[in-house]
Amino acid sequence: MRYTAVEAIVKQGKIYPAGPGSLPEEGRVLFIVLEEKKIKPNAKMIRSLLGWLKTDLDAVRWQQEIRSEWDARS
């Protein structure tokens, strides 16, 4: 059995390939429907997280420190 991923658009119950390729004549399919809902971000939640996150860290130095803790456990 061979698996092929095909991006397609469903309109009014009909399937249309999104790319230049075509659908096979026959086969079994497994659908995963990605709904395109436009969700407005929660600005209040984002502001609360921004105040909580540490943005003044040197990421490289922080990763080296964390990894050195694991190295010390060996």
pTM (2 d.p.):
0.38
Given a contact cutoff of 8 angstroms between Cβ atoms, the answer to whether 15 and 23 are in contact is: yes
Which CA distances in Å does 72 have to 13, 58, 67?
A: 59, 21, 9
Backbone angles phi, psi at 37, to 5 degrees: -85, 135
The secondary structure of residue 41, as a DSSP letter, is P
pLDDT > 80? residue 73? no
Residue-wise pLDDT tens digits, 7-49: 888 889 888 888 877 777 788 888 888 877 788 888 888 888 7
Listed in sequence order, the residues at least 6 apart from 17 whose beta carbon sits closer than 8 Å to its beta carbon are: 6, 7, 8, 9, 23
